[in-house]
Amino acid sequence: MQRKADETGWLCLQYLARHNKPRLLAFFHFSDPDTAGHKYGMDSEEYRQAASQCDKWLGEILSKLKEMNLAENTLIYITTDHGFDKHVPNAKSHNCAPDCWLVTNDLAISRNGEIADIAATIIHRFDIEVGQRDPPLAGEPLISH
């Protein structure tokens, strides 16, 4: 189900208030930029406004973590699920656009990587056991060994 950023952001804050344990894992997904990018294009004002709304809610989430005294011990990973076709002006599609970005406060991150490395990093940092997988989990943690 896709929700607008204001509804998603409010639900994120409610989740944090209910699950205010010292150790928790949460995945918050804001779909507004993806929806706006596909509808209006990656260079559109609508796309920029959607990203701005997500930034506003990120600020609210960070403020909530500070209020709960969890901010200092919380790893935060902010990323995209894909890019757009860069060779097409104001692209609305991503036929082959594997580029994404990662913003994090995780000081253990020591290298660049690919989109699959983001999930591998989070799994590694939270000590989540994935066991033997067939096919194996894609990606390598973005942490020097």
| Domain boundaries along the sequence of the chain | 5-75
Which pTM was predicted?
0.84
What is the percent of the chain where pLDDT is above 90? 54
How many CB atoms neighbour CB 113 within 10 A?
Answer: 15
Supply the pLDDT for residue 126.
87
State yes or no: pLDDT of 98 exceeds 70: no
Instruction: Round the average pLDDT of the chain to a whole number and report it.
Output: 88
State yes or no: pLDDT of 20 exceeds 90: no
Confidence of residue 21 (pLDDT cuts 50, 70, 90): confident
Looking at per-residue confidence, does 40 or 88 come out higher? 40
What are the phi and psi torsion angles at 79 (to 5°)?
Answer: -150, 180
Supply the pLDDT for residue 94.
76
Supply the pLDDT for residue 97.
66
